[in-house]
Amino acid sequence: MSEIKDSALAIGRRNLLKAGLAAGATLAVANAGLLGTSSGAAAAEEEIPSLKGKRIAISATGTDHHFDLTAYNAQIDEVKKLGGEPIAVDAQRNDTKLVSQLQTLIAQRPDALVQLLGTLTVVDPWLKRAKDAKIPVFTIDVGTPNSLNNTTSDNWRIGSDLALQLVSDIGGAGNIVVFNGFYGVVPCAIRYDQLKAVIKYYPDVKIIEPELRDVIPNTVQDAFSQITAILNKYPEKGSIKAIWSAWDIPQLGATQALVAAGRTEISTYGVDGSPEVLQLVRDPNSPAAGNAAQQPEEIGRTAIRNVARYLAGQKLPRETYVPALIANKKNIEEVTKTLRLG
Partner 1 sequence: MSADIDTLSDFSSGNDGARRFARWLAGFALHGGSILAFAALLIFFSITAPFFFTLGNIGNVLGQSAILGVLAIGLTIVIIGGGANVVKGGIDLSLAANLGLSAAVYATLVSTGHGDGVAIAGALLTGGLIGLVNAIAIVIFGIVPLLATLAVMNVVAGLELVLTQNTVVSAASDFLSVLSNYGPFDIPVLAYVLIIFTIIAAGIVQYTPLGLRLYAVGAFPEAARAAGLPVKRIVASSYIASGLCGGLSGILSVSYLSGSTTGAGEMLLPVVVTALLSVVFSRRLVPTIGGTLLSTLLVGFLTNGFQLLNISSTLVSGIQGILILLVVAATSLQRGKGVA
Residues at the site binding partner 1, with contacts judged by CB under 8 A: 85, 87, 89-90, 92-97, 99-101, 103-105, 107-108, 119, 121-122, 124-125, 184, 215-216
Measured distance CA(191)–CA(161) in Å, rounded: 10
Contact 130, 106 (CB under 8 A): yes
Measured distance CA(213)–CA(32) in Å, rounded: 33
Helices (H), the chain: 2-18, 24-37, 39-42, 66-81, 95-108, 120-132, 155-169, 186-199, 219-233, 249-261, 275-282, 296-311, 332-338
| Least gap, CB of 243 to partner 1 (angstroms) | 22
In terms of DSSP bridges, do strands 325-328 and 174-179 run parallel, antiparallel, or are they unpaired?
A: unpaired
In terms of DSSP bridges, do strands 205-207 and 149-153 run parallel, antiparallel, or are they unpaired?
A: unpaired
| Least gap, CB of 100 to partner 1 (angstroms) | 4
| Least gap, CB of 104 to partner 1 (angstroms) | 5
Residue closer to partner 1 (CB basis): 62 or 270: 62
Measured distance CA(35)–CA(13) in Å, rounded: 15
| Least gap, CB of 90 to partner 1 (angstroms) | 7
Residue closer to partner 1 (CB basis): 6 or 124: 124
Measured distance CA(97)–CA(164) in Å, rounded: 41
| Least gap, CB of 261 to partner 1 (angstroms) | 27
Residue closer to partner 1 (CB basis): 15 or 119: 119
Q: What SS3 state is found at 198?
A: helix
Residue closer to partner 1 (CB basis): 63 or 70: 63
Measured distance CA(67)–CA(190) in Å, rounded: 19
Residue closer to partner 1 (CB basis): 58 or 227: 58
Residue closer to partner 1 (CB basis): 142 or 163: 142
| Least gap, CB of 79 to partner 1 (angstroms) | 12
Alpha carbon distances (Å) from 147 to 3, 123, 126, 267, 339: 27, 11, 11, 39, 27
